[in-house]
Amino acid sequence: MAQIRALRRMASLLTTPLAPEDFLALVNPLASTRQLRGVVTKVVRETADSTTIHFHPGRGWNAHAAGQWARIGVEIDGVRQWRSYSLSAAAGHDPAITVTAIGFVSTALARDTKVGDILFLNVPQGDFVLPAHPRPLLMLTAGSGLTPVMSMIRTLVPRRPDADVVLIHSARTAADALFRDELLELADQFPGLTVRHWYTREEGGRRLDLTDPTDLETLCPDWRSRAAYACGPSDFLDAATELWEHSGDDGQAQLTIERFAPVLLPGTGGAGGLVTFEKSDKEVEAGGDVPLLDAGEECGVVMPSGCRMGICRSCLTPLVAGKVRDLRTGEVHGDEGELIQTCINAAAGPVHLDI
Amino acid sequence: MTATLNKPATQGQSLQVRPRKPVLAATGGPSVRPAAAAHLSDADVERLGQELDAVRDRIIASRGAKDAAYIRRVIAVQRTLELAGRATLLFSKRKSAFFAGTAMLSVAKILENMEIGHNVLHGQWDWMRDPDIHSTTWEWDFVTPAAAWKHTHNDLHHTWTNVLGKDKDVGYSTLRMSDEQPWQPHNILNPAINMVLAPFFEWGIAIYDLELEAWKEGEKSTDDLKKSLKALGKKAARQAAKDYVATPGAAAVFGSGKQALIGTFTANAIRNVWAHSVIFCGHFPDGVDVFTEEEIEGETRGDWYIRQMLGSANISGSKLLHLMTGNLSHQIEHHCFPDLPSNRYYEVAVEVREICERYGLPYTTGPMPRQVGQAWAKVFRLALPPKRTATARINQAPTVRAPRPARASFRLPQAARVV
Ligand SMILES: Cc1cc2nc3c(=O)[nH]c(=O)nc-3n(C[C@H](O)[C@H](O)[C@H](O)COP(=O)(O)OP(=O)(O)OC[C@H]3O[C@@H](n4cnc5c(N)ncnc54)[C@H](O)[C@@H]3O)c2cc1C
Ligand code: FES
């Protein structure tokens, strides 16, 4: 290792102001450690609008724990775009993401990704992970919310004979249900896994009702005694949270949730203002409902970010002057030098950021 | 605009990107317009400003994958050439290897400084949001540190283009480049000094970027100057170590040390002379105006564009010439839109030229030998004290519009200024 470092130091004498990796990148795009990249190794169409993308990460990647997510960067029309995706592969395997096409980036990822493409990456993070000690589990998922749970199931079920997992997955139709065949096979093969599909748009289908425990009691009578994990759309998670809060009378019931989108207070936006990114020497006029993160990216500032929904704090940026509005609460705040979460704060008047 | 929404609640957001500088009024006008634009009314100038804004907006809206692929291709070619050039110099004991290696390294260095470095540092590629091709992270193969250059160049020169007393320069004390500058006996050395400056141009820029003038006048603190000196020292040491120690050192293993040293020195000198020439073509040829502070007082967006157009000169030529000049052959377009991707100036030029024609504004351009010749003629002419009677104008560069109103002609002292 020391020899490699010495060699690198010598080589950099010849390549300055660039690094030796910049030249190695001519032949191997994964050579750069300054920007973590992965090369796509396999693309699998899962349903009509979702695709699993397997990739081999370059140096600097950390192995993921089942249930974690990573920030994925992709170039669309020449512009780098970042979004977060749960890693659907089992822990210990090369990572994969399963993307459902619902918007700008997800559609491009799901439709256009080819084997050999380069993805930009950030290391896995998140604490939506399996419990430290074995316990009976209940997984409650809807739509693309199955992805982190799929990683947990793939990691746990085949390896632990003592696993006891009940999965309740809601999808529109059987054809829309992610990983359906694999899940049914796993359930066949391993007694520790029970899979209950719930279809909302099949004949006689309706939404899973979480406003009272009736549906749950039918699907999984001992749900209260299980460690529960939920991931899905906001309203689904809101209902689950409420149900667990009210039914956990013995204090036993435990629910861990993972959100894919922030809970924003509707109509919090005010007038906005001129946002100045001082180090980058850029200015943008941004509306009062535009996260500062989006505003910065729009004018070409390389903004730090992670979840883009106010949970990971990767986006913290020092405020130089001005006030910002928290889009989740509507609160206007901002002291000089305060670290601002740019993904969930918008300008409330002119704002200067130290980036 | 690309959709960057990530969540339902931010739908219908309004993002509007505006150029940072200058934030100028759309309407109104300065008390005096430059003579070449004196025939335009406030309304004309406002319309001209809108037309040029529209050109800019159209290019910005159409930036995309093709442009990104272009700059990546240029970077890949440049790095390949650089690698091949240095590798070939390892065997420069052989004459053919010496010439091939030096040629490749010279071209690589020219591309690196002009089409890549200069333009990346202008933020022309920031929109890609690739941290490796970004104005905030780029460092170039030039002695002056990128940060120092960005300040004097992007902030000072591009904002105060050709405004007397604001757009200052290193040549002030050494070269006489302006009829306005009183003649002093040492100005007889003008040509000699410029001849030395050309092959050592990067050092001239490095000294210029220290802003010694500003420090003498107390505008730059001694602390800041010390910081600048330290940054420059570090950068210069690494640059020198690469070209004059590491490369010849590696070549010495193959018995080519001395030749490799001559090769890297020559490559730097060729790049320097080339850059110096291109820069001279940008603001020195006849037909380029300078301005008074009075003329920029109350300047509108349209007037700002006019100043950029009157204060710059293009070089006409082939696609290869445009590439090798870093598209500074489109100096006029670059000064109007410093942060548009350089590969698009070619198409912008067609429209800007048409607009100039329509508004009766001069558009200075000419082939490189003539533009360089004019600049050098000026260096020689101004070495001598002014003749009282002479109307100090030699071979006027051709402009699109034939007759121009007579006007006072100031010249900025601007010897070592990267455009
Ligand atoms: C921790 C975390 C893990 C995630 N894991 C996954 C994953 O495994 N698979 C996956 O497909 N996505 C996942 N996401 C969501 C993903 O990051 C993007 O938000 C999503 O792909 C939409 O981005 P987009 O650019 O396509 O949509 P945008 O163009 O940004 O949005 C377009 C529109 O889509 C709608 N929309 C956006 N997000 C949602 C949403 N979550 N639910 C419903 N409608 C929405 C809105 O109407 C929005 O205006 C995860 C997000 C987080 C924070
Ligand atoms: S990006 Fe995660 S908190 Fe802002």
* Cis amide linkage into residue B22, ω under 30° from 0: yes
Interface check B16 vs A, CB under 8 A:
yes
Extract the runs of DSSP E, i.e. beta strands, from A269-310: 273-277, 282-286
Distance from CA of A224 to the nearest CA of B (A): 32
B413 band by pLDDT with thresholds 50, 70 and 90: very low
Segment B92-101, tens digit of pLDDT: 999 999 999 9
- Over 90: is that where the pLDDT of B409 sits? no
* Angle, CA of B27, B29 and B31, to the nearest 5°: 160
CA distances from B278 to A249, A286, B146, B306 (A): 79, 39, 19, 22
Segment A178-206, tens digit of pLDDT: 999 999 999 999 999 999 999 999 999 99
How many A/B residue pairs have CB atoms within 8 Å?
158
CA distances from A296 to A136, A276, A286, A341 (A): 45, 9, 9, 13
pLDDT (average), residues A242-259: 81
Atom number in ligand 1 closest to CA B6: 30
A206 CA distance to ligand 1 middle (Å): 24
Q: Is the dihedral of CA B345, B347, B350, B351 positive or negative?
A: negative
A261 CA distance to ligand 1 middle (Å): 7
Atom number in ligand 1 closest to CA A233: 42
- Over 80: is that where the pLDDT of B419 sits? no
Question: What's the full length of chain B, in residues?
Answer: 419
Higher pLDDT, B29 or B253: B253
- By the 8 A CB rule, do A74 and A108 touch? yes
Contacts of A302 in chain B (CB under 8 A): 129, 131, 134, 136-137
- Over 50: is that where the pLDDT of B3 sits? no
Cα–Cα distance, A317 to A288 (Å, whole number): 18
Interface check B140 vs A, CB under 8 A:
yes
| Tokens (6 digits) for B276 | 């110096």
pLDDT (average), residues A67-72: 96
Segment A275-293, tens digit of pLDDT: 999 988 889 999 999 999 9
- Nearest of B247, B248, B228 to residue B236 by alpha carbon: B228
* Angle, CA of B132, A293 and A77, to the nearest 5°: 55
A4 band by pLDDT with thresholds 50, 70 and 90: confident
Contacts of A75 in chain B (CB under 8 A): 65, 68, 128, 130
Cα–Cα distance, A115 to A40 (Å, whole number): 5
Residue whose CB lies within 8 A of the most ligand 2 atoms, among A309, A328, A345, for a mutation test: A309
A314 lines ligand 2 (CB under 6 A): yes
Pocket of ligand 1 (CB under 6 A): A 69, 83-86, 98-100, 102-107, 144, 147, 233, 260-261, 307, 309; B 3, 5-8, 11
Q: Which of B3, B76, B136 sits opposite A104 (nearest CB)?
A: B3
State whether A16 and B79 contact (CB < 8 Å).
no
pLDDT (average), residues B60-74: 97
Atom number in ligand 1 closest to CA B3: 29
A307 lines ligand 2 (CB under 6 A): yes
| Tokens (6 digits) for A201 | 């748009």
Segment B106-123, tens digit of pLDDT: 999 999 999 999 999 999
Cα–Cα distance, B328 to B343 (Å, whole number): 11
Contacts of A286 in chain B (CB under 8 A): 13-16
The mean-pLDDT minimum among A293-297, B26-30, B373-377 falls in B26-30
Fill in the amino acid letter for B46. Answer: E
State whether B83 and A23 contact (CB < 8 Å).
yes
Interface check B141 vs A, CB under 8 A:
yes
For chain A, which residues make up each domain, given as ranges? Answer: 1-32, 35-121, 137-258, 273-353
- Nearest of B355, B357, B335 to residue B48 by alpha carbon: B355
Interface check B344 vs A, CB under 8 A:
no
| Tokens (6 digits) for A342 | 């740019």
Chain B 302-341, CB below 8 Å of chain A: which residues? none
| Tokens (6 digits) for B198 | 């050309």
ipTM for the complex? 0.87
Q: Which residues of A310-325 are buried (b: 16+ CB within 10 A; e: fewer)?
A: bbbebbebebbebbbb
Extract the runs of DSSP E, i.e. beta strands, from A77-152: 79-86, 96-100, 118-121, 137-142
- Assign B332 to helix, strand or coil: helix
Mean per-residue pLDDT over chain A, rounded:
93
Domain A35-121 belongs to what architecture? Answer: Beta Barrel (2.40)
Interface check B13 vs A, CB under 8 A:
yes
Kindly report the pTM of this predicted structure: 0.88
- Smallest-distance ligand from the CA of A340: 2
B7 CA distance to ligand 1 middle (Å): 7
- Assign A6 to helix, strand or coil: helix
Q: Which of B13, B130, B135 sits opposite A287 (nearest CB)?
A: B13
Higher pLDDT, B188 or A264: B188
Q: Which residues are bridge partners to B152 per DSSP?
A: none
Cα–Cα distance, A226 to A222 (Å, whole number): 7
Q: Check if CATH label 3.40.50.80 holds for domain A137-258.
A: yes
Q: What end-to-end distance do the CA atoms of chain B give, in Å?
A: 30
For B140, name the nearest residue in chain A, comparing CA atoms only.
A17
Look up tokens 């749950």; give the residue.
A216
Look up tokens 């209902």; give the residue.
A239
Q: Which of B13, B79, B246 sits opposite A23 (nearest CB)?
A: B79
- What proportion of chain B, given as a percentage, has pLDDT over 90? 65
Fill in the amino acid letter for A320. Answer: V
Residues A291, A292, A293, A299: what is their CA dihedral angle, to the nearest 10 degrees? Answer: 120
- Smallest-distance ligand from the CA of A100: 1
pLDDT at residue A345, as a whole number: 94
Q: What backbone phi and psi angles, to 5 degrees, belong to A347?
A: -70, 135
CA distances from B118 to B64, B113, B149, B195, B419 (A): 20, 6, 10, 23, 9
Distance from CA of B387 to the nearest CA of A (A): 46
- Over 50: is that where the pLDDT of B16 sits? no
Segment B236-288, tens digit of pLDDT: 999 999 999 999 999 999 999 999 999 999 999 999 999 999 998 988 888 88
CA distances from A303 to A293, B130, B282 (A): 7, 11, 35
A308 lines ligand 2 (CB under 6 A): yes
- Over 70: is that where the pLDDT of B6 sits? no
Q: Exposed, middle or buried: residue A191 (CB in 10 Å: 0-12, 13-18, 19+)? A: exposed
Domain A273-353 belongs to what architecture? Answer: Roll (3.10)
Q: Which of B6, B57, B245 should be substituted to probe chain A, the one whose Cβ sees the most A Cβ atoms within 10 Å?
A: B6
Q: Which of B18, B67, B246 sits opposite A78 (nearest CB)?
A: B67
Chain A 323-342, CB below 8 Å of chain B: which residues? 327
Fill in the amino acid letter for B174. Answer: T
Atom number in ligand 2 closest to CA A306: 1
- Over 60: is that where the pLDDT of B393 sits? no
* Cis amide linkage into residue A17, ω under 30° from 0: yes
- By the 8 A CB rule, do A329 and A269 touch? no
Extract the runs of DSSP E, i.e. beta strands, from chain A: 37-47, 50-57, 69-76, 79-86, 96-100, 118-121, 137-142, 165-171, 193-199, 227-231, 254-258, 273-277, 282-286, 316-326, 332-333, 339-341, 345-353
Contacts of B147 in chain A (CB under 8 A): none
Contacts of B12 in chain A (CB under 8 A): 289
pLDDT at residue B291, as a whole number: 81
State whether A13 and B135 contact (CB < 8 Å).
no
Cα A121 to chain centroid, rounded: 12
Cα–Cα distance, A157 to A169 (Å, whole number): 17
Cα–Cα distance, A325 to A348 (Å, whole number): 6
Q: Which of B2, B18, B245 sits opposite A283 (nearest CB)?
A: B18
A313 lines ligand 2 (CB under 6 A): yes
Distance from CA of B318 to the nearest CA of A (A): 27
